[in-house]
C-alpha cells in the first residue's frame, strides 16, 4: 500500500470546498475582480526577490524541484509557497496597462515544513489583488468586500477583523529605531529570542510568546503614533471609510505581518475557534513589491490571501441558509430487473436535466438498492419494472413519508423540473 505524502490530505468530498470557492468567485467577480490562473511552478528567484532571502519561507520551507537531464539553462524551479508574487509577475510579464487591475486566483500552495496539527504541506489559498490603485479607498473596498463575504454570505462564526497601519517605509524605519531604543532600554527583561530579533527583525518581537515580553510590550511605542502627516491622515480616512461602510474592527498596534514589503494598511481576519493559528485571511498594502521585482513597472497595490481550509473549519453548515438552499433532492434510480436497464437509463438521463441530483444503481437487488438509497439520504427512489415499462410510468417512493405511487414519466419530470 502506498500512502499519500506526509502533510497532505485527500478531499474525498469537495462539496463544501466547492461551495466556498464558488461563493467567493461569485461576489469577487461582481466586484470587478477577474479570475486568473498562474502556474503552480515558478522560478525560485521570484520568491527570493519578493519575500526576501532571510524569511523562513525562502530559507527552509520551499519545495525546490530537482531538475533532470543536462538542460544547463534551466532556472531552478519550486512549487509556489504563496500567490501574491506570482500575480505580480503575471502583471509585469503580460504588460497589463488598464489600471487598477483587480484579480483573484484560487489554488494549492506548498510549504516544506514539518507537518504538525492543523498545518499542511499542501493547502489552498485564494489570493485577491488590486494592482495600480493608490487611494486608501481601495483598501476599504477590499476589506468591506471580504467582510461581506465572510459574515453575510458565508455566515462564518465568531470572527474579528484586526487592523493596523504601518505607514510608509520612512515611518517604519523611524519607528524601528524607536522600538530598538525601547528594547535596548529593557534588554535585561526581554527573552533571548527577542534580543536576537531586536536587531535582525525588530517588528517581529511582538510575535513573542513569552508573557514577560508581552507584558512589557504593552508599554512599547506604537507605530500609528509615529506616522508622518500624510500617512496619519490616510489612517484616519481608512477608519472613517470602514465606519461608514459599517465594518467593525479592532485596532491591533502589534499587527505587522511577516514580510518587509507591506506598508500602510495591514489587516487580519481572526477567529478564536481556530486555536493558536487564528488568522484565516490576511492582507494589506504592498506598494514597493512591484518595484522590487521590476523598477520600471512600479505600482501601488493592495491585496489579501484567504486560507480555504481554515474558512471551511469556520463554516457552520447547519446555520448556513445559502448552502442549504443549494441542497437538491436526491433521487435514486433502480431497475427491478436487468432487462429494464435501458428504460432506467432513459429516466435517469431525463432527471439529470431537472433540478435534482440523481444516483443510478444498476447492480443492486431491490432490497440492497433500497438500503443504499437510505444510506445516501435519498429523498426519493424511482423503481422501474415490467408494468411501469409498458405504461411509460415509474414507481416513485418518497423516502421521507414512505409513501409510494405510480406516476407517469412526463409527470415525474414535470414535478422535479420546478
- Applying the rule CB under 5 A, the residues between 270 and 299 that interact with Zn ion are none
166 contacts Zn ion (rule: CB under 5 A): no
Q: Which is nearer to Zn ion, 210 or 294 (CB)?
A: 210
Q: Which of 231, 255, 314, 384 binds Zn ion (CB under 5 A)?
A: 231
Q: Which of 36, 191, 312, 345 binds Zn ion (CB under 5 A)?
A: 191
183 contacts Zn ion (rule: CB under 5 A): no
Q: Which of 42, 139, 171, 268 binds Zn ion (CB under 5 A)?
A: 171
Distance CA 272, CA 299 (A): 36
213 contacts Zn ion (rule: CB under 5 A): yes
Q: What angle do CA 300, 147, 286 make, to 5 degrees?
A: 15
Q: Which is nearer to Zn ion, 228 or 352 (CB)?
A: 228
Q: Which of 81, 167, 283, 335 binds Zn ion (CB under 5 A)?
A: 167
Write down the number of H helices and E strands in the chain. 16, 16
Q: Which of 228, 326, 346, 374 binds Zn ion (CB under 5 A)?
A: 228
Give phi and psi for 300, each to the nearest 5. -75, 155
Q: Which of 20, 83, 168, 256 binds Zn ion (CB under 5 A)?
A: 168
Least Cβ distance, residue 205 to Zn ion (angstroms): 6
Site residue total, Zn ion (CB under 5 A): 10
Q: Which is nearer to Zn ion, 227 or 311 (CB)?
A: 227
Q: Which is nearer to Zn ion, 208 or 266 (CB)?
A: 208
Give phi and psi for 135, each to the nearest 5. -60, 140
Q: Which is nearer to Zn ion, 71 or 185 (CB)?
A: 185
Distance CA 347, CA 233 (A): 66
Q: Which is nearer to Zn ion, 168 or 336 (CB)?
A: 168
100 contacts Zn ion (rule: CB under 5 A): no
Residue 234 to residues 133, 208, 311, Cα–Cα distance (Å): 14, 29, 30
280, three cell numbers: 484565516
Q: Which of 156, 163, 208, 238 binds Zn ion (CB under 5 A)?
A: 208
194 contacts Zn ion (rule: CB under 5 A): yes
96, three cell numbers: 497589463
305 contacts Zn ion (rule: CB under 5 A): no
203 contacts Zn ion (rule: CB under 5 A): no
Least Cβ distance, residue 185 to Zn ion (angstroms): 15
Range 285-291 contact pairs with CB under 8 angstroms and sequence separation of 24 or more: 285/139, 285/166, 286/84, 286/259, 286/261, 286/262, 287/263, 288/169, 288/261, 288/263, 289/50, 289/84, 289/85, 289/88, 289/261, 290/88, 290/91, 290/92, 290/131
Strand-by-strand arrangement of the 250-251 sheet:
34-35, 101-110, 122-131, 301-307, 279-285, 263-271, 159-165, 250-251
* H-type alpha helices, 186-320: 192-200, 211-217, 229-244, 289-293, 308-314
Least Cβ distance, residue 167 to Zn ion (angstroms): 4
Q: What is residue 77's DSSP assignment?
A: E
Widest Cα–Cα separation across the chain: 93
300 contacts Zn ion (rule: CB under 5 A): no
Q: Which is nearer to Zn ion, 231 or 389 (CB)?
A: 231
Cα-trace Rg, the chain: 28
347 contacts Zn ion (rule: CB under 5 A): no
Q: Which residues are at the interface with Zn ion (CB under 5 A)?
A: 167-168, 171, 191, 194, 208, 210, 213, 228, 231
Amino acid at each position: 500500500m502506498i500512502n499519500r505524502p506526509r502533510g497532505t490530505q485527500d478531499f474525498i468530498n469537495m462539496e463544501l470546498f466547492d461551495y466556498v470557492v464558488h461563493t467567493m468567485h461569485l461576489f469577487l467577480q461582481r466586484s470587478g475582480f477577474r479570475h486568473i490562473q498562474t502556474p503552480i511552478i515558478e522560478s525560485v528567484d521570484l520568491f527570493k526577490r519578493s519575500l526576501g532571502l532571510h524569511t523562513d519561507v525562502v530559507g527552509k520551507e520551499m519545495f525546490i524541484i530537482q531538475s533532470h537531464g543536462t538542460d544547463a539553462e534551466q532556472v531552478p524551479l519550486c512549487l509556489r509557497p504563496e500567490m501574491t508574487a506570482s500575480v505580480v509577475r503575471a502583471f509585469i510579464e503580460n504588460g497589463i496597462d488598464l489600471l487598477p487591475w483587480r484579480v483573484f486566483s484560487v489554488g494549492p500552495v506548498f510549504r516544506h515544513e514539518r507537518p504538525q496539527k492543523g498545518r499542511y504541506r499542501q493547502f489552498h489559498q485564494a489570493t485577491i489583488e488590486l494592482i495600480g490603485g493608490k487611494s486608501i479607498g481601495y483598501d476599504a473596498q477590499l476589506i468591506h468586500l471580504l467582510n461581506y463575504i465572510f459574515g453575510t454570505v458565508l455566515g462564518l462564526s465568531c470572527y474579528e477583523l484586526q487592523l493596523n497601519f504601518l505607514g510608509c517605509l520612512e515611518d517604519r524605519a523611524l519607528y524601528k529605531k524607536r522600538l530598538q531604543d525601547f528594547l535596548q532600554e529593557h534588554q535585561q527583561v526581554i527573552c533571548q529570542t527577542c534580543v536576537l530579533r531586536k536587531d535582525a527583525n525588530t517588528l517581529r518581537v511582538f510575535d513573542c510568546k513569552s508573557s514577560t515580553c508581552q507584558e512589557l510590550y504593552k508599554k512599547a511605542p506604537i507605530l500609528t503614533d509615529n506616522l508622518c502627516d500624510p500617512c496619519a491622515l490616510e489612517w484616519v480616512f481608512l477608519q472613517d471609510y470602514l465606519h461608514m461602510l459599517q465594518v467593525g474592527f479592532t485596532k491591533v498596534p502589534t499587527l505587522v505581518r511577516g514580510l518587509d514589503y507591506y506598508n500602510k494598511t495591514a489587516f487580519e481576519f481572526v477567529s478564536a475557534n481556530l486555536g493558536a493559528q487564528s488568522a484565516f485571511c490576511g492582507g494589506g498594502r504592498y506598494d514597493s513589491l512591484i518595484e522590487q521585482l521590476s523598477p520600471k513597472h512600479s505600482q501601488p497595490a493592495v491585496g489579501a490571501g484567504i486560507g480555504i481550509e481554515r474558512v471551511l473549519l469556520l463554516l457552520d453548515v447547519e446555520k448556513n441558509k445559502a448552502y442549504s438552499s443549494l441542497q437538491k433532492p436526491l433521487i435514486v434510480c433502480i431497475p427491478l430487473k436487468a432487462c429494464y436497464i435501458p428504460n432506467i437509463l432513459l429516466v435517469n438521463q431525463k432527471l439529470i436535466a431537472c433540478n435534482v441530483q440523481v444516483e443510478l444503481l444498476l447492480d443492486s437487488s431491490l432490497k440492497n438498492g433500497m438500503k443504499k438509497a437510505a444510506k445516501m439520504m435519498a429523498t426519493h427512489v424511482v423503481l422501474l419494472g415490467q408494468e411501469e415499462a409498458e405504461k411509460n410510468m415509474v414507481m416513485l417512493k418518497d423516502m421521507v413519508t414512505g409513501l409510494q405511487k405510480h406516476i407517469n414519466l412526463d409527470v415525474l419530470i414535470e414535478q422535479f423540473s420546478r
